[in-house]
Amino acid sequence: MNIRVASQDDLNILLELEQGIVKYERPYDSELNEGPINYYNLSELIKSENAQVLVVEINNEIVGSGFAEIRKAKPFMKYKKFIHLGFFYVKPRYRNMGVNKMIIKGLIKWSKSKGLRNIRLKVYNKNKNALQAYLKSGFKPTLLEMRLKL
């Protein structure tokens, strides 16, 4: 397994992984539009000084991804900036091999190099596999978003 920073050359594969995320998350959110969805501007994230996109390769095949992005905190928070993590996806046949853990560790290392210690991510509350992975990595649940459809 090899972890590295993504490049623009990886964009087509990353866009495929993004659709893998959408397909996986659809059962958790009935309000998602049908068809392809782009959650992220991956090209901009790859170029940004305030973000890092990581991929894991096995036998020269990209099998997993994730990103960290520096964001401004709300004015009422004790800190001015934080790291937002997202775009976590591991191809099904490579799950339970430590790919996601490797990506999280790499993004935490990058976050520390930027002097930021507050890291956040969002996860569907019914996505038990993702919840378990994030809990194992030290994340703790905080705010639960609730919806009412009228």
- For residue 72, is it left (φ>0), alpha (ψ between -120 and 50) or beta? beta
CATH number of the CATH domain containing 113:
3.40.630.30
Place of tokens 């996109």: 53
Q: Is 114 within the bounds of a domain?
A: yes
- Letter for the amino acid at 28? Y
Q: Is 147 within the bounds of a domain?
A: no
Q: Is 128 within the bounds of a domain?
A: no
> Length of the chain in residues, anyone?
150
Q: List the pLDDT tens digit at each of the 150 positions of the chain.
A: 999 999 999 999 999 999 999 999 999 999 999 999 999 999 999 999 999 999 999 999 999 999 999 999 999 999 999 999 999 999 999 999 999 999 999 999 999 999 999 999 999 999 999 999 999 999 999 999 999 999
pLDDT at residue 13 in the model: 98
Q: Is 140 within the bounds of a domain?
A: no
Q: Is 65 within the bounds of a domain?
A: yes
Q: Is 64 within the bounds of a domain?
A: yes
Q: Is 7 within the bounds of a domain?
A: yes
Buried-exposed string 100-137: b where 16+ CB fall within 10 A, e elsewhere: bebbbebbbebbeeeebeebebebeeeeeebeebbeee
Give this prediction's pTM: 0.94
* Count: domains in the chain: 1
pLDDT at residue 48 in the model: 98
Structural domain span for residue 57:
2-122
Q: Is 29 within the bounds of a domain?
A: yes
